[in-house]
């Protein structure tokens, strides 16, 4: 069982030429793949089990990520069901030289914990034990409601 803060993961991918479209910006499919991988890590950190993607909410691409920049992805679990974990995902364009960042993509993914037989397995409730946990959870819930 983990707190919201303990599931928080931040990861970076450098946008290389093979990751780009004909505009020399990160291909949207690559960004979704990276978000899916980091989201699964956050879900697994909470569940203590392998997790698979069950659902992706609307994915909003608001800005491109140029070749040579980093795609920074933040993920954390913010809610659970019986076997599912809702995960907030936000991607940023990050200049590797200055650290300047700008949000480019956001979404909510649902992962399901599975056992060794690939069957759904129960997950514990998330712990909300700090102001940071409460703030992250409330932001995710508010933004999720606004997307619907």
Cα distance between residue 111 and residue 80, in whole Å = 9
- What lies within 8 Å, CB to CB, of 4 at 6+ separation is 76, 77, 78, 126, 127, 128, 132, 133, 136, 137
| pLDDT 10s digits, 120-136 | 999 999 988 889 888 88
pLDDT at 108 over 70: yes
| pLDDT 10s digits, 6-23 | 999 999 999 999 999 999
For residue 54, give its domain range.
4-147
Cα distance between residue 104 and residue 91, in whole Å = 6
Half-sphere exposure of 48 (CA within 13 A, CB side): 8
Domain count, the chain: 1
pTM confidence score:
0.92
pLDDT at 145 over 90: no
Q: Supply the CATH number for residue 117's domain.
A: 3.10.129.10
Percent of residues, the chain, with pLDDT higher than 70: 98
pLDDT at 93 over 70: yes
What is residue 2's predicted lDDT score, i.e. its pLDDT?
82
């Amino acid at each position: 069982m983990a707190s919201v803060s303990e599931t928080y993961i931040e990861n970076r991918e450098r946008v290389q030429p093979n990751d780009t479209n004909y505009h020399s910006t990160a291909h949207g499919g690559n960004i979704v793949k990276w978000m899916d991988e980091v989201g699964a890590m956050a879900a697994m950190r909470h569940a203590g089990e392998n997790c698979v993607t069950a659902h992706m909410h609307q994915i909003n691409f608001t800005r491109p990520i140029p070749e040579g920049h980093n795609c920074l992805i933040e993920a954390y679990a913010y809610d659970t069901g019986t076997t599912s974990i809702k995960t907030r995902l936000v991607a940023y364009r990050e200049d590797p030289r200055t650290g300047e960042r700008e949000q480019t993509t956001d979404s909510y993914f649902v992962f399901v914990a599975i056992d060794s037989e690939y069957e759904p397995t129960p997950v514990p409730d998330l712990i909300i034990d700090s102001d940071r946990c409460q703030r992250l959870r409330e932001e995710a819930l508010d933004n999720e409601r606004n997307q619907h």
